[in-house]
Amino acid sequence: MTIRALEKVSVGQNGIGAFILQCRKMDIHYCDYSGSSRGMNAFIKSQLSKFASSHPQIEFSVSPRPRKHPVLIGHYINGKQKSICVKNMDSLQILKKAELLRDASGEKIKKVNKPVTSINESVRGVWSPYHGNGMPV
């Protein structure tokens, strides 16, 4: 009896079962002559190829912008974009900013008033050690 391989291993269902990276494209703008782009030029020459090869699902676009400060722009699958100015940063700091854009979701930062968000408020209320019989300590 021969063994056949499984025909369907898994089916993606709206992100369930598989992680979908939210960042789809990263634009890298730099200037060849500006002193504020020294770190960006070093990042492009030394670390960008390794960073790009480890993230094949992100499209990288490198383009010069003469007489402008260097900028990283992340484009996300929800249509939003975030940009970070990286002037006068060294290549390791720019790598950290690129990882920050890679890990972001594209949504604006929201203030969280309560630690737990729920559709329904608690029926019992908030528990306190002073409720009830009051156990002696």
Q: What is the pTM of this model?
A: 0.70
Three-class secondary structure of residue 42 per DSSP: helix
Neighbours of 98 (CB within 10 A): 25
What pLDDT score was predicted for residue 17? 64
From residue 13, give the alpha-carbon distance in Å to each of 48, 101, 105, 118.
33, 25, 19, 24
pLDDT band of residue 4 (cuts 50, 70, 90) is low
pLDDT number for residue 115: 73
Average pLDDT, the chain: 84
d(CA 46, CA 36) in angstroms, rounded, equals 17
* pLDDT class of 81 with cuts at 50, 70, 90: very high
The fraction of the chain above a pLDDT of 70, given in percent, is 79
pLDDT digits (tens, 9 = 90+) for 24-48: 999 999 999 989 999 999 999 999 9
Reference 95, options 59, 54, 35; nearest CA is 54
